[in-house]
Chain A
Amino acid sequence: MLEITDLHVSIEGREVLHDINLVIRDGETHVMMGPNGSGKTTLLRAIMGFGGYTVTSGSIVFNGENVTEMPLHERAKRGMGMLYQRPPTIAGLKLGKLLDVTAKERADQIPTLATELNMDRFLERDVNAGFSGGEIKRSEVLQLLVQNPSFVMLDEPESGVDLENISLIGNATARLLEKDQHIVHRTKSGLIITHTGYILDYIDADFGHVLCDGVFKCHGNPREILKSIKTHGYQECIACQRM
């Protein structure tokens, strides 16, 4: 699904990600952990193709196609999707209208999906205007369910979400990633940034990665990595040379 090779990314002339290598196969879910400011969001945004994130060397190959220089919306059209940690507010644009213009084959499912995510009352509200933390995440997941990407990147899906909403968002995320399907039949893949690991209770992640100072420091079993971080903090990861 996704193959990142020797990727270096700069923001305003300063290199933020160094020599990133990552392979995510069809049906796999990967989680990424790391201290604040380590470059996790930058990596997601560079994969998605946001402006201001300059790939100085290396490549991003998505479903066999080199997308390194491809515009953002072309990557979205090819099946990439992203859940924002802090999405912008768009005054005047109604959530329902946004769903209508971005929906393709799932347009007829909008009312059902909105109800399931408890967002039906928000369709006539301006996108993200005055939404609480949980409402923002429900809105993001709803948009992704309607967009139906084959590869989703989730930037801290559980941050700012209360316990009641965690299960709603966790289960919806599992649905985004087709977790109800056997790995053999599952086609959707994901890359998830998490600090708390709560999301792991809803999705069985296959691989974990630790990013520190723009470099991958560790790859392995996500739960074991999380346990180690909870016990020892990121210091061990930073010191660790095991790759």
Chain B
Amino acid sequence: MKIDHSLPLEYSTDQNKLNILGFWIFIGAEIMLFATLFASYFTLVDRTGSGPSGAEIFEITPVLIETLLLLTSSFTIGLGVHAMRLGRVKAMLTFFSVTLILGLAFLGVEIYEFVHYVHVGAGIQTSAFTSILLTTLGTHGAHVTLGLFWGLYIILQVKKRGLTPQTANKSFIFSLYWHFLDVVWIFIFSFIYLKGMM
């Protein structure tokens, strides 16, 4: 395996470069996935049937907490990748762990939010609006959940194997994924919650 030392570790082998490009293309597909969900959401947002509308069920406090948690986690994983580039494994692992804890907290608040919706009579079967709302939020939440496991695996691997071209590559790709989830959340926050509450 040829290692090119003039590049950051995560780009240092041919396979690493392929992995990163492939993941960017995968993010392209993910954008289409969420775009389809958003398009369906905008189509169905006013079709509430006999159920509640967004303005009646949205609560600003949990949403703001979630936003704060996820945006901070995106910042900390940025710091983690920065630490990785400096070769400081301990700092990197700390930042990655903080990221995952913030992600876990986000997920906790989101689960609370879902319970609240079901409690006020906005379950997934209530109306077309609640179906698409919970599906869109749930798809994002499922991505975060998957990310928690994935991130944990990467932390364990870096701990055990140290920073190699492979582990650096995985960590970097994971950071791309995490930032992407953050971007999706910004759209959810703006176009689902804020627009719904206005």
Our verdict on whether A and B bind, yes or no, reads no
- Enumerate chain B interface residues (CB-CB to A < 8 A): none
- Enumerate chain A interface residues (CB-CB to B < 8 A): none
